[in-house]
A and B are shown apart, each in its own frame.
Chain A
């Protein structure tokens, strides 16, 4: 019974936190960016934390979502839903192809091939200046209104994206707690055993990969609208690496971990790069420390300790 109460309390606190967040951060824009990367990392946890596939190429889908949304809004139809949908659909297609080509390879090789694909897509985006604007980036993405709601105000945009975020979290929770999600966990633990029981592990891995790409492209599309432009950086290895560290630091395989990891990293990046010029130094140090000592993620560790303390007080 107590557990249930704590869970309810935690849930309410979390919602309240998100509602006041934009008023706590230096600009509303920063809070929005935190949410966008939270959605990205949330989806990534499904493929990395729950399925055990370390993909260094998820910037591909973030970038596709961002560019597709931007291009549709500027050149085709000024409809936000359509633009996002096209971005996500395209991303599903590309992720299927990438998964098909990569998932057959095991372990370290899977990482390398996703790394190579990321470089390739970056290169394509760089060269195809007619479509993407090349390294100048794609400028002039409008914030079209949703019916009566005008998204030009940063705070309105935040709350819209917050709604999308809540929906994404709900969907992700349903996925990992479903029979499908259980199979993913099983095959992460021991793929041979799962296969011997009769599951088509390749198919499950592919679907997990595609789901995470779906979330990534949603985040990318929202990013394009939030920034009013799409920089080449969205397709780069740095973005891929960023989401890895967000998930890892936050705590892979927990869903809430990567969300908090993403928000923390985005917040720190903004805070520290205003004070110190050496963010890569700090990011590198974070990588090193989290890989060496807090492999299960800082938030699970913190919550674990909190739980202990609360249980001890009974």
Chain B
């Protein structure tokens, strides 16, 4: 009889050990080829750093699987399936491109695994399903930060130039609301088709309206071409320019003279005064030769947060990790603090206002931004219930 109990006991111990032998698998999807590749690549670098830094989780080293979606939502859908089914990842992090992120979120729900969405801005991801967590920035946050802080500090008359696609429309909607709330005056808007090369007609129209601030709800080359045209027509002498999204890579690809003096909003920058920022940014720079953007920092932070939650939950089972993440407050160099709301799985943290330095002011390589202001989380982030909620 005793022998049987001992045998059973050993058997159970062995199975317990065997199930512990299943490592935590982190999946990463982003754009690793094509024009946006540098952004995606830096996110991947950051994820690798996070996985290495996390060390041993649940007794095993964490495995990382990365996939390229080439900025194509259809492809992202396939890759997410591959990651969840073939590679058996427990979580997917990253994923730029809002359409792609929405597809991954659906796959997360289908496969009942977690998706830590960091790199896409659409507010449709907030409260989408219980498996999706929205971290880092979102379109509301960008627009509200620009509108609220800008209306107080930069002037009341605003003109917007918007990229004519879903993201631009989303931003415009939130921006105009934020502006109205602060008593600003929206003197005009132009919808510009994607990849327009010559912005001079729009600049001339904007100049006509005599705004204090020109807001570019666009990204990448569109923003660069528009700003160049603004400089060319002398608009920058009287009008301040604000960008919805501006990365070090954009500045590098166009030249700092074009963007000097422009403002932008971001949840983080390598120049902010949060504990641990300088160390992490320097470490990234040393390892990869580039200054990290907030996208890279966000994916690092999200990955560490997930692994941290797994440790606290003592298991990588989806529902247990979700419980551990909901309502948690996390502190690291990226969010200090960041609180994940249980109602809609949105991580709220404060936002910063950045300004591009003048060419002479650079002290270190690619040290393009300086911090000029900040907005607390409750003003920068949407209130609960403005978007979908889970309960």
Contacts and interface: CB of A to CB of B under 8 A. Distances in A.
B103 A229 contact: yes
A137 B102 contact: yes
A135 B168 CA distance: 11
A178 interface: no
B70, B77, B107 — which one has the most chain A CB atoms within 10 A of its CB? B77
Contacts of A278: 33
B361 interface: no
A277 interface: yes
A227 B165 contact: no
A161 to B, nearest CB: 16
B68 A135 contact: no
Interface stretch (B81-89, B277-285, B309-317): B81-89
B98 A136 contact: yes
Contacts of B72: 231, 233
A227 B166 contact: no
A287 interface: no
A270 B169 CA distance: 33
Contact of B81 (A27, A133, A136): A27
Interface in A143-170: 154
B122 A136 contact: yes
A233 B70 CA distance: 12
B73 A33 contact: no
A231 B99 contact: yes
A62 to B, nearest CB: 12
Interface string A116-150: 00000000001001000111110110000000000
A279 B81 contact: no
Contact of B102 (A129, A136, A234, A280): A136
Interface string A228-255: 1101111000000000000000000000
Contact of A231 (B67, B73, B82, B165): B73
A140 B103 CA distance: 9
Interface string A3-36: 0000000000000000000000011011001000
A273 B106 contact: no
Contact of A136 (B37, B78, B82, B124): B124
A274 B70 CA distance: 10
Size class of the contact patch on chain B: 20 to 34
B175 to A, nearest CB: 18
Interface in B100-133: 102-103, 106-107, 110, 122, 124
A134 B102 CA distance: 13
Contacts of B165: 126, 134-135
Nearest to A139: B102
B265 interface: no
Given A136-B98, A228-B106, A27 B82 contact: yes
Nearest to A152: B110
Nearest to B73: A231
Interface in A271-314: 273-274, 277-280
B68 A277 contact: yes
B32 A229 contact: no
A135 B165 CA distance: 7
Interface string B21-49: 00000000000111001000000000000
A29 B124 CA distance: 26
A27 B85 contact: yes
A273 B75 contact: yes
Nearest to A140: B106
A26 B166 contact: no
Contacts of A233: 72-74
Contacts of A33: 78
A129 B72 CA distance: 18
B33 A277 contact: yes
A273 B99 contact: no
A118 B348 CA distance: 43
A277 B110 CA distance: 28
B102 A277 contact: no
A270 B86 CA distance: 14
Contacts of A136: 98-99, 102, 122, 124, 166
Contacts of B74: 227, 231, 233-234
A136, A229, A270 — which one has the most chain B CB atoms within 10 A of its CB? A136
A239 to B, nearest CB: 10
B15 to A, nearest CB: 28
B161 to A, nearest CB: 18
Contacts of A134: 165-166
Contacts of B124: 136
A224 to B, nearest CB: 11
Contacts of A30: 78
Interface string B348-378: 0000000000000000000000000000000
Interface of B: 32-34, 37, 67-68, 70, 72-75, 77-78, 81-82, 85-86, 98-99, 102-103, 106-107, 110, 122, 124, 165-166, 169
23 contacts: A27-B82, A27-B85, A29-B81, A129-B166, A133-B166, A134-B166, A135-B99, A136-B166, A137-B103, A139-B102, A227-B103, A228-B107, A229-B102, A229-B106, A231-B77, A231-B103, A233-B74, A234-B74, A270-B78, A273-B33, A274-B67, A277-B68, A277-B70
The 3 closest A-B pairs by CB, nearest first: A277-B33, A231-B73, A231-B74
